[in-house]
Structure 1
């Protein structure tokens, strides 16, 4: 922990433009996507028809673009988080609202597009999907070569590296599953060359590199993005106390001792080392457990996951014990200020969350924290709080009230809380 906290903030490679200039370049790459997203937001507020073809034509006319440009811009807006799909409804994303004032939001949006480069430019139809997937998996190595070269790299050199990396990946898979089906032969030189061209064109389309006569060069944005990805791998590899290799529950218990900033670094390191879907499932499994402290920390880790966790969190909102946490997560994800997010909870949900948080404090905190937690209740008086706490039916109600009665310095209030605990325990009114 000491080593991690004293680790200096890494500096980008020499010659990398400052964040403001990188954000300016990212805004230029996504200019059409932003225009389309803003037009769509205005049309949504006007409650216009939802026919996609009609909307595309109207957008093309209004923005002086072709329908193909509108469709491409809409895909970019969606991939960059400028718009968010909720079922059949598209809503403006929080990045769109922050676009003109928040450079970090712009860069995160562009990196999301960079990560999705293989979706921007359709792969050749006559190449097997498995071969396309192998090239996508192998391409980070190609990007690393481009980044380390700090200049133009001949396409033949990139092709040699790509072929070598695809072969290595196939060999690794055979070692893991020696009894599995034999892999198909490597794509021929012509197919692999076409897939390399496709990948380079896709990355050029998102502004990550430029293509010259027989060579490719990372743009400043692309160079910075590859450096960021490499740095994330280094952070994951340097995770203290082995948290990166631990289960979600053990990792969260370790993070309970950290302040929010270092804890978020730890969450990112842990998440970077595993597939997103399984990581989200593991965090939600911990949240369903009996430890209220880990429940809260699990949703803090899910905030680091962001958009890929939305569907699972939205489903979790149907579970009583997770609903308040999930609703707060969704409110913040959709752009609400964290201070205003609790407004989305009903009085009953807020009371449930108050009891759950009190249970976490009672289990892991100090008596003084539990007394201060009493002041955070939405109810104006202690009798009103006790009435609603008894009605909400939280399984830890009795333990919380007993702990609060033992901790509170006011004898009269402590007596009232003990009486309420006894009534809940015996099933009285």
Structure 2
């Protein structure tokens, strides 16, 4: 299976680390879950988090959150458990973690078990599942009218083996308790909580659970993400990246960043970064710039994807600027990392975005940002840079500029680029 260590590699790793083979296997699996190791075909190599581990504390915290998110993989479920029951417990656990976080102290396992049973019933109700078992529905030989013993809504039927809250059903305390023990044990194994006995001391058979400091922080982060996603200012969180960016085109920087954060909070970071990169590869220069603004909000998790596109000509200037700022270069000085040709290409791309979506005065003011300093030098280098939108940009600039002589020179340059002349 992909990612599974061979017996030989496992034995070698265990000997090198001075641990048991089982511990070496567990450490390997967790390193993959955290992102310290990446698999490419049959080869393992350091993941981006490992490269950032010593210089970015937030990468360490996000790595631990990734492990917390994968708690159900970190400790296998009981072999005798029904897969459907395991899935329901995994889906119900966020509510139990919220209770632990709000309680700010130990919570009896009995309380957690009761909430788990209620949540499982709610999940089945939301799926419109009909309870199964002897009391699921009256049969042809059960003519008892409602309210009498044996009727579906009578107290006797509610305590029948197939109804919630009894040991005969999947969501009863008796059948859910082993799964709750598994979940709490798995969460404890990743450092999210500790188990206590009744006296508040750690014990193997403890009947109370309390979140660790890391666990409290992680639950708070998850709740914050939900709140951020629910407060999307422009209502674009369900849109694909390109549509979301178009929806942000008319926003000022502050609200736009809030929209990016809401959109990112609503989806896994890996797929969100991939969507943004793909949107940047399109023909719309405005979306290209906005996509990298959104990637600035992502921060360190986007670094591998940004580095991977440095050699793509359309994305290279944006990627280099992003990486420079990510590594601490002042945004005002970041342009220094670009060659003259790259800076000119970026100028044309930005001008294309303005021409497509902005106003004519903004395009004229864009001339002032050119690194060449003079219009003749700019036109000479713009013609040589080979941007696919050069002609359209020059035509738009000529139409917008109030100086007739300069406009004429720009139109001549546009004609020469179009015809391939000198």
TM-score tier, shorter chain, comes to 0.5 to 0.7
* TM-score for the superposition, normalised by structure 1: 0.67
Specify which of 199, 215, 224 is matched with residue 222 of structure 1.
215
Alignment of 1:24-423 (within 5 A): 53-174=7-128, 186=170, 189-212=173-196, 213-244=206-237, 248-249=241-242, 251-257=244-250, 263-273=256-266, 287=280, 290-301=283-294, 304=297, 324=316, 354-362=347-355, 363-364=357-358, 366-367=362-363, 369-375=365-371, 382=378, 385-389=381-385, 391-392=386-387, 394=388, 396-405=389-398, 417-423=410-416
Measure the CA separation in 1 of the matches of 2:92 and 2:418: 60
> 2:191, 2:212 within 8 Å by CA — same for their partners in 1?
yes
Q: Distance in 2 between matches of 1:124 and 1:269?
A: 37
* TM-score of the pair, normalised by structure 2: 0.68
> Which digits, 9 at most, give the CA deviation of each residue in 1:8-66, with x for residues without a partner?
xxxxxxxxxxxxxxxxxxxxxxxxxxxxxxxxxxxxxxxxxxx8655544443333223
Shift of 1:141: 0.2
Check whether the contact 2:383–2:390 (CA below 8 A) recurs between aligned residues.
no
- Larger Rg, first or second structure (1 or 2): 2
How far the C-alpha of 1:217 sits from its partner, in A, is 0.9
In 2, the alpha carbon distance for the partners of 1:317 and 1:134 equals 44
Contact 2:351/2:363 (<8 A) preserved:
no
| C-alpha distance after superposition, 1:340-362 (max 9, x if no partner) | 99999999988765533331133
Aligned residue-pair number: 363
Q: Pairwise CA RMSD of aligned residues?
A: 4.5
Work out which structure has the larger RCO, using CA pairs closer than 8 Å and 6 or more positions apart in sequence.
Answer: 1
Uncovered stretches (5+) of structure 2, i.e. residues with no partner:
130-168, 197-205
Aligned match of 1:36: none
CA contact (8 A) 1:314 1:330 kept: no
Please give the alpha-carbon distance, in whole angstroms, between the structure 2 residues aligned to 1:232 and 1:151: 23
Aligned CA distance change for structure 1 residues 376 and 248 (closer, same or farther; 3 Å): farther
SS in 2 for 1:65: coil
